[in-house]
A and B are shown apart, each in its own frame.
Chain A
Amino acid sequence: MSPSLSRIRNVFEPMNSSEVAGLWQSRFGIPEKAFAGYRFFRKAQSVWMISASELPNLSYEALGMRIMNLKDRPWKPTTCALQILGKHATKNLVHLNETQATTFLEGKSLPVDTNLEPGYVVVLYREEVLGCGLYSRGIVVSQLPKERRMTSCS
């Protein structure tokens, strides 16, 4: 099957693990071994990661976790994937203090004082990955999905 078919027919098409690992390595410095033991699939513009070695012949709605979206430039990591893979990241990290973390968790933008390459960043608080942010010109925009945000009053 040619690579373009998955985009037209909406089927899961196996992907090379080093192709996926390479993208995460170059943006976040995550070592390739963090991707060992998983299989990767592409469906439309999404990449999925699953730990199973063999998949029965069935029609699937989802295969493991959706870890990235290739639609836009640059590609975008999902928050749930960053929460797992982000602990291996060595660059494009933003460490927040408590007040900033609260703002981020509420889904808002916040000014940060760092020198990062513009693009997606791993956002941490107390060594814990909170999720994905989009950094440019001194501002981090929270990319937390709505249902994962804190409500301001609590």
Chain B
Amino acid sequence: MERYKDIIPNFEAFKAVLHRPLFDCCRINTLKIERAKLLERLDEKGVGWRIFDWYPFGLKLDVQSPGKLLESLLGYIHIQEELSMVPPLLLDPRPGEVVLDLCASPGSKTTQISQMMNNKGLIIANEPSLSRVTPLRSNCERLGVLNVAITRYDGRNFPRGSFDRVLVDAPCSSEGRERRGPGVLSRSNRKRSLDLQKLQIGLLKSATRLAKPKGVVIYSTCTYAPEENELVVEKVLDDARLERISISGLKECPGITEWNGETMKGDLSKCARYYPHINDTGGFFVAKLIKN
């Protein structure tokens, strides 16, 4: 983790916040309930909540085991990390479009995309791992999703398509989850990130190939390693251009443009890095690309 000393602003504050646990968060599933009604129900039960500053459907919850709430069992809410709600927002899907979610399970983002599309159009939720298809299906069913079809390809070889929007929420070293599961950061290292990088580049190249011209591709991870973030995005900049990310109410840091003494090509500062000590969240990286 010390290798991030020079890229993470206010590194001491960063290290200090990692010991503080996070509130559980959830998304209101408007496919099944109106926002006002859900908030009323939580009040009735005495469950404490606070709406995110940047997203009206995201809530911090003050309750033990929120997954056991009736509202959760009936699919009125979905337990989801705060920053996990960022990529769908940037993907900005519209009802009636055709969207590919290349690495989909357990479907937190798939189901959020479905809600944004109002259950119209089509989302292909791809997940190669058979055991991980089960939670993906179960979340879609619980949340009342009717516009998702599930496939099981290796994302790098997804056979065909011309999608309006593609999300690559890539498998990663998950360093940003330290506040949920302490120890991730200390186990993480450059070698492991480089191994993951091969897969991540394959996935992002495939996503760029599958988007239609001018289509949107979002690449996201919950890790800090530049090897898994900017250095992956850099590889598709011949086929797509970056768009700057800014979400009102959420502070991002620019993507890094230099690492290990080497300067990267393109304007990778347009990517967004989110740090735990800045918004009191987990850690996250996201890039928004427009295919040429």
Contact = CB atoms under 8 A, between A and B. Distances in A.
Contacts of A60: 149-151
B133 to A, nearest CB: 6
A8 interface: no
Contacts of A58: 124, 149, 151, 153, 159-161
B279 interface: no
Contact of B151 (A59, A83, A149): A59
A58 B153 CA distance: 10
Nearest to B162: A56
Nearest to B65: A154
Interface residues of B, number: 32
Contacts of A150: 68, 70, 73
Interface string A59-89: 1111111100000000000101001100000
A115 interface: no
A148 B146 contact: no
Contacts, number: 83
B138 interface: yes
B35 interface: no
Interface string B121-151: 1101000000001000110111011111111
Given A83-B74, A154-B68, A61 B122 contact: no
Contact of B119 (A51, A78, A147): A51
A63 B137 CA distance: 10
| Interface band, chain A | 20 to 34
B73 A55 contact: no
A73 B160 CA distance: 41
Q: Which of B98, B120, B141 has the most CB of A within 10 A?
A: B141
A54 interface: yes
Nearest to B161: A56
A26 B179 CA distance: 53
Contact of B146 (A50, A147, A151, A154): A50
A78 B133 contact: no
Contacts of B68: 150-151, 154
Q: Which 4 A-B pairs have the closest CB atoms?
A: A52-B122, A80-B141, A62-B150, A61-B150
Given A50-B148, A64-B145, A154-B65, 17 more contacts: A51-B119, A51-B121, A52-B147, A56-B98, A58-B124, A58-B151, A58-B161, A59-B151, A61-B152, A64-B147, A80-B75, A83-B75, A83-B144, A105-B73, A150-B68, A150-B73, A154-B68
27 contacts: A38-B146, A49-B146, A50-B148, A54-B122, A55-B122, A55-B149, A56-B124, A58-B153, A58-B159, A58-B160, A59-B151, A59-B153, A60-B150, A62-B133, A62-B137, A62-B148, A63-B149, A64-B146, A65-B145, A78-B141, A80-B144, A83-B144, A84-B146, A105-B70, A148-B142, A154-B65, A154-B68
